[in-house]
Amino acid sequence: MSTEIIKNELLGESYYSIDHPSGLKIFVYPKENYESSYAVFGTRYGSIDVCFRADGQQDFITVPEGIAHFLEHKLFESEELDAFARYAKTGASANAYTSFDRTCYLFTCTGNFKDSFEILLDFVQSPYFTEETVAKEQGIIGQELTMYKDIPEMEVFYNMLRAMYSVHPVRIDIGGTVESISEITAQRLYDCYNTFYNPSNMALAVAGNVTPEAVLEVADRLLKSKEPVTIERRFFPEPPQVCTDYTQQTFNIATPLFSLGYKETYSEPERSLKEIMVTSMLLEIIAGNTSVLYERLLKDELINTEFSAEYFTGYGYAACIFSGESSDPKRVRECINEEIARLRREGITDEQFEVARRKYYGRVITCFNEVDDIANSLIVSHFQKIPLFEEFDLLPGITKSDIEARLEATLREEYSSLSVVI
């Protein structure tokens, strides 16, 4: 077992990066004067992983859409007490989530850390699936998926993804569909579990009122070693064109919702950290709450303070997305395109660049105040093969020219889709 202490002089903080004999990467980030502790056990396995092959497999395997999310639900169960019932006895607050590219199990507590940590390591490593329990869960998750269809905020987002993407599985709801989950069997769950829930494809992060000694005392006892696995994910190259530039759905709501996405295509599946940072700053300049566009849209009552912009990116997909509420989403789209064209024509000012740079820096710093943000960032940075503190190293070297070059390369109107719920 090897342990490395990684420090950041600017923050005056450090964390432990541990290569455990089980093959698992463990991160421990002690925070002095914090009462709470937060632990997250994650696997690089999400809803887009529907076609893959592991060591020794000649052909790619295709699995039902939504199986990663289904597996997350099932893992909390056991032949005896489920994990939530066990956590109720320790007083910890536990949860889990499946995203497009990862699944994570977590808890937070202010006491009984050891007992809660033991539960986390135990149930994540102890799958229990039968055809009977799978059939029962299909009914439960089927109802959940039907319920999600009644949530306009979710529908407007997924409708936008389906409008943009024709090939990549990011266009499919994370939970799949009622039809796709009906194809899930206990054996398929075990196949996916044994592939993706391997220590070499996972990571564990703990932050807050903890020490590496306390974490390792439990980890050494409970972590199970497995032969490392190499997983090849199928890359779904997308055509640059969108499926449709506009999609609309009707809900019983007071104000229309919208999601406007500008699709990007690449020959490589993943973006660099610098590209992500530069794009995030560009979106701040275009539509941040101190931008010309934001103030004009507010003044004209075309948006409210729910308006936001984000860079949505993962394995094989990337898009700049503007979302919010508006009485006239089509006019908002026109205004965004006009502002993008104006910035290309007139350029970005030094003041705009400096404001965006400082705001980005402030957001990064703020993340290190919350133990859940720290632990989840450690998991994400590990899966992306990006050191946690690298943003601090890259930020001083980002220039206005970088932002302007990115503006020229992205946010093309012809590759955009507007999703509206009216």
Give the catalytic positions in this structure: 72
62 strand-pairing partners: 51
Classified as helix, coil or strand, 40 is strand
Residue 368's nearest CA partner among 14, 129, 43 is: 14
Cα pseudo-dihedral 239, 241, 243, 247, rounded to 10: 140
Quickly list H helices, 63-130. Answer: 67-75, 83-90, 113-124
* CB-based contact 308:164 (threshold 8 Å): no
- Decide: residue 54, CB within 10 A, 0-12 exposed, 13-18 middle, 19+ buried: middle
* CB-based contact 47:204 (threshold 8 Å): no
From the CA atom positions of the chain, what is the Rg in Å? Answer: 23
Quickly list H helices, 31-177. Answer: 67-75, 83-90, 113-124, 131-148, 152-164
Phi/psi of residue 329, nearest 5 degrees: -60, -35
Distance CA 4, CA 11 (A): 18
Distance CA 107, CA 121 (A): 11
Classified as helix, coil or strand, 36 is coil
Neighbours of 30 (CB within 10 A): 19
Phi/psi of residue 5, nearest 5 degrees: -95, 120
Q: Interior CA angle at 195 toward 194 and 196, to 5°?
A: 105
Phi/psi of residue 231, nearest 5 degrees: -110, 130
